[in-house]
Homo-oligomer: A and B are copies of this chain.
Amino acid sequence: MTPQGLPVPPISGRTTLIAHIGFPTESFKAPMIYNPWFAARGIDAVVVPMGVRAEDFAALAPPLFRLSNIRGALITMPHKVAVMELLDQVTPTAAIAGACNAVRVQPDGRLMGDQFDGEGFVRGVIRKGQPVEGRSALVVGCGGVGSAIAASLARAGVARLALCDPNTAGMTALAGRLAQHYPRLVLVAGNADPAGHDIVVNATPLGMQAGDPMPMDVSRIDPSAFVGEVVMKTEMTAFLQAAAARGCRYQVGTDMLFEMIPAYLEFFGYPAATAGELRGLAQIRW
């Protein structure tokens, strides 16, 4: 502590780095979640935001991952797809999502990639009492986060998965990768009707701007369905408000964020944490 009572980063030459790579960095939340937790647990590690423009990523990443004090990186926009080419190994979830948001430097220097956006989403759904195995899910939006959620829902055992995205090529390719890894999964592509689904997900950016249209016809969501959101800018988006008004249970965007962090920490080799503990310690400046 300083004489003024302000917090002090206990960073030294023995501190392990986890790079948080993306651009722009201003909206990054991870440093304010991980670092207080590391401090509380007495773990000598720090998440450091690095604003890397798309055109610099391929040059920076290989030497950065050779730093003697780096354990890995959190990868965010716009590098989640580009990073795949630099990795020596990826998990099936990352392969299906076609994107990676976590890189670990193995002891031999090889790079291992995984994808936890969807894992965070699914952990949150299950924690809130909504079973996933054997159920039917709709994911509207098949960009990075939607693909990751679809991959994780498949991994968690949904029986039926509907995908919808105006980018039909991307949507169809995602469906193909899912079919290849999960041959018994019933896949539906191109239909955003939520009727009949147990789990309904907005994985589009709709809801970030005031006046955005609804990502789907909310009046068709079954009141018994569980509704999830990926937008984090507002906790109760218009979409979630409408779903809640229908009686649906729901999960806000930041739940996905906090639920995925224990999975990341495990991936990086740190002790178990819970989403609740992380949320309690976080010092997020929104």
Task: Judge whether A36 is part of the interface by a CB distance below 8 angstroms.
Answer: yes
Q: Tell which of B8, B24, B36, B280 touches A68, judged by Cβ atoms closer than 8 Å.
A: B24
Selected interface stretch from A38-46, A165-173, A256-264: A38-46
Q: Does A50 contact B (CB under 8 A)?
A: yes
Q: Check A3 for interface membership: any CB of B closer than 8 A.
A: yes
**Are A32 and B12 in contact, with the CB atoms below 8 A?**
yes
Q: Cβ of A73 < 8 Å from any Cβ of B?
A: no
Contact partner of A9 (CB less than 8 A), chosen from B9, B25, B66, is B9
Q: Tell me which residues from 56 to 106 in chain A have a Cβ below 8 Å from any Cβ of chain B.
A: 56, 59-60, 62-64, 66-70
Are B9 and A7 in touch, CB under 8 angstroms? Answer: yes
A77 to B10 Cα, complex, angstroms:
22
- Which of chain B's residues has its CB closest to A36's CB? B8
Is the contact region of chain A dominated by helix, strand, or loop, or is it mixed? loop
Chain B neighbourhood of A64, CB < 8 A: 60, 64
Is A51 an interface position by the 8 A CB rule? yes
Stretch at the interface among A13-21, A147-155, A221-229, A230-238: A13-21
Q: How far is the CA of A9 from the CA of B281 in the complex (A)?
A: 12
Q: Which of A13, A62, A281 has the most CB of B within 10 A?
A: A13
Bound-state Cα–Cα, A131 to B81, Å: 61
- The closest CB in chain B to the CB of A15 belongs to B49
Question: Known contacts A15-B31, A59-B62: does B53 contact A283 (CB below 8 Å)?
Answer: no
Interface: A108 (CB within 8 A): no
Q: Is the CB of B40 within 8 A of A4?
A: yes
Contact of A59 among B7, B23, B59, B281 (CB under 8 A): B59
With A3-B281, A13-B27, A39-B8: A49-B63 Cβ-Cβ less than 8 Å:
no
Q: Of A3, A24, A50, which is in contact with the most chain B CB atoms at under 10 Å from its CB?
A: A50
Q: Hey, which bits of chain A sit against chain B, CB under 8 A?
A: 1-4, 6-15, 17, 20, 23-29, 31-32, 35-36, 39-40, 42, 46-53, 56, 59-60, 62-64, 66-70, 280-281, 283, 285
